[in-house]
Structure 1
Amino acid sequence: MESIFFRSWWVPALRGLLGILFAVLAIGWPGLTLLSLVGLFAAYAILAGIASLAGAIRHRTAGQMHWDAVILGIVSIGAGLVAAYHPAATALLLVLIMGANALVVGVLDILAAVRLRQSIAGEWLLALAGVASVVFGAFVFGAFVFARPGAGALALVWLVSLYAFVTGALLLALGVRMRALERAGGTGHDRRVVPDRRMSPAR
C-alpha cells in the first residue's frame, strides 16, 4: 500500500493546486456573480473528482481497488455536474451542494488518513484537510441552511475560498511530502537511531 500511495502522490498535489486556484479566482474575480461562482465550483469539483478516479484506477493493485478514492471521485464529479447543469438554481441549492460535497470528501479523507497512519509519515495533513472539509460542511448546513435559509451564495465567497485554500494547501503539502519520500525510498516512520561508532569508548 505504501508504494501505491507514493506513486499516486500527484493526486493530493493536484487536488491541492485546484483548491488553491479556485480560492484565488473566487476572491480575485472582479464583480463575481452567482453564475460565475457556480461555474468555478463545478470546474473545481469535476477536475478534483477526475484526479481521484484517475489515481485509483491507474495505481490499483491486482484484484483490488481503493474504493475510498473511487467514491470521493464520483461524489466530487457528481456535485460538479449537478452545479453545472443547474447554474441558475437557487442560492440555497448551491449551498447544499457545496456543504454535502465537503462533508463526504472530508469523511473520506479522514478515513484514508486513518488507514494510512501506520504506513506513512504526514498522514496528519490528509486528516487535517478532512477535518477542515467536515467543519466547513457542517457550518454551511448549520449556519446558512437552518439558521439563515435565505442567505445568498455570494455571502459565502470568502468562506468557500478560505476552505478551498486551506484544504488545498494541506493536500499540496501532502503531495510534496509523499514525492520526497518516494524519491528517498522510505516511509518516514522509521525513526530508529543508529549509534555513531565514532562516539564509542576507545578500547
Structure 2
Amino acid sequence: MNIIPLISVKKGKLLDGKDGEPLNLDTLFLRVEKDSMLYVLDCDGIEHNNPNFALYQRLTEHCILWIDDGPRRLDDVMDTIMAGATNITLRNDLWPEIDFPGVQELTDDEIYLAMSEQQKEQRQPLSFFSEDVGIVLFNDTSDYTTFSKDVLTKHKLYRYTQSTDKVPFWNEQGITGILIDLNKKEGEN
C-alpha cells in the first residue's frame, strides 16, 4: 500500500498537513525524501480559484507532485501540469461537467476524482469514468470501503486519514493507498 504525505497551502502559506502547522520549504525538503511523491492540497485553488503555481514550481525541484488545486476547466489543468503536477485531482463539485477525455489528452499521468461523502453515499455510478481515473476519498468516516471489489480492481482508490493504524485492514480491502498529513506520517515512523 502506498503512503503519500500530504501538505496543504492556505493563504499562500505552506502547512505540514490538512490543518497543520506552518512549514518553510527548507524544512520540508529536509523532512521529505528527494524524488518522493507529495500530495499538495491547495485550499487557495480549491476555495478561491487562486492556485499557487510558483510554489509548485519550487516544490517540483525536490518532489514528485500530486496536486489538488480545484481546476475548473481544461486551461486550469494545463496550468497545473505546466507548474509541475505529475498526478492531478479533479473535483466534480467545482467542475460538474469534467471533460475527462480532454484531461487525458493533456497528460499521460494519473488523474483522480475527489469524491465527497455525499457522492459516495449516493453511490454515484463510476461506470462513466475511465478506468484510468482513480478516486480520492476525503472525510470518509467509515473504516470500511463501500466500493465493490470490482470497482477497486478498475480504479485506484486513495483515502485521506490521520493515522496509519488501519493500513493492514485497508490493504486487505484492496485500497491502493492513503494520504496522510506529513506531520502524522512522521509521527508513525
Please report the TM-score for the alignment, with normalisation by the length of structure 1. Answer: 0.25
Task: Determine which structure has the larger strand proportion and give its number.
Answer: 2
Task: Determine which structure has the larger helix proportion and give its number.
Answer: 1
